[in-house]
Amino acid sequence: MSQTFGAVEAGGTKFRVGRFSDGELLEEHRIPTEDPSITLPAVRAHLAAWSPVAVGIAAFGPITLDGADRGVMGSTPKPGWPGANLIEDLDVGVPVAIDTDVGAAAIAELDRGAGRDVASLCYVTVGTGLGGAFADRTGSHHGHGHSEVGHVPVQRTPVDAFEGICPYHGDCMEGMASGRALTERKARGQQDAAAHVAGYLGQLVAVLTYTFAPERIAFGGGAVQEPGLVAMIREQSMLALAGYSSNPAVTDADGYVSVAQLGQDAGLVGAALLAERMASYQPG
């Protein structure tokens, strides 16, 4: 009989909880993100009904991924969530694997999406915010905590008067090139708003290329629907790299900078893959 795996995508506005078997999503429920004392028992009820052998969680952050505080939410502005422990409070009684939403999405895109034919990939989501993660076939990269590639500094374009919207840094990558930054640029009537954003995302391709040396970089999130954006990112990344890379695939612009394929399911699929891998490490 096939094993059942539970997958949870913990988002800032909703939780998705899915029942997976043989890699297929068989059942899904969506639960609004309210106080953890309301949301987490509702998630737990679905998981308990399915008797999964393991559960994977893809969570919004900041969140602790390793050590004694594994699963503890950090300083999110969501009321009630700082200090909540997604693993202990869900209390499902089976092994639980956890990663960030972008880390899980990177694992999913590598296994099932834009990176199926390569061994490593960086996933970048350009949505309301901007985040990214590196994954290879062993999982996503964790160091002390998780990557925050959305907050890398950028080299400002002299003709760009937009000051940036990151509350911490102003003109970091997220401040200049997130979906919300793009919306704000347009609201202010900035000419070529998407071209400016593409320029900074091209810089991000160079940062990720030089830092992680991935075989592919896949862009997802709502902003990639912007007409022509990904093509512009490809062009701008070649300018930012300026011909300097040890990876010959990088100059194959069409294949290297690509579009994520799993859409809004990347996090949930990634959570299921985390659960499968967690189960395969357990005896029996």
- Looking up tokens 């002390």 gives 144
Determine, following the binding rule CB under 5 A, whether residue 169 of this chain makes contact with Zn ion. yes
Residue span binding Zn ion (CB under 5 A) among the ranges 101-109, 172-180, 192-200, 231-239: 172-180
Question: Taking the complex as a whole, how short is the minimal distance between the CB of residue 201 and Zn ion, in angstroms?
Answer: 15
Query: Binding Zn ion by CB under 5 A: which of 54, 105, 149, 166?
Result: 166
Nearer to Zn ion, 78 or 169 (CB): 169
CA 170 – CA 11 distance, rounded (Å): 24
Residue 155: C-alpha distances to residues 74, 109, 271 (Å): 29, 29, 35
Q: Residue 187 — φ and ψ, nearest 5°?
A: -60, -30
Determine, following the binding rule CB under 5 A, whether residue 167 of this chain makes contact with Zn ion. no
Binding mask 101-130 for Zn ion (x = CB under 5 A): ------------------------------
* Contacting Zn ion within 141-160 (CB under 5 A): 151
Nearer to Zn ion, 172 or 177 (CB): 172
Question: Taking the complex as a whole, how short is the minimal distance between the CB of residue 175 and Zn ion, in angstroms?
Answer: 5
Question: Taking the complex as a whole, how short is the minimal distance between the CB of residue 100 and Zn ion, in angstroms?
Answer: 16
- Alpha helix (H) ranges present in 158-264? 173-177, 179-187, 193-212, 229-241, 253-256
Determine, following the binding rule CB under 5 A, whether residue 281 of this chain makes contact with Zn ion. no
The neighbour count for residue 22, using CB atoms within 10 Å, is 10
Nearer to Zn ion, 96 or 173 (CB): 173
Q: Residue 116 — φ and ψ, nearest 5°?
A: -60, -30
Question: Taking the complex as a whole, how short is the minimal distance between the CB of residue 224 and Zn ion, in angstroms?
Answer: 20
The neighbour count for residue 228, using CB atoms within 10 Å, is 11
CA 87 – CA 56 distance, rounded (Å): 10
Q: Which three-class secondary structure state does DSSP give residue 133?
A: strand
Nearer to Zn ion, 181 or 224 (CB): 181
* Interface positions with Zn ion (CB under 5 A): 151, 166, 168-169, 172
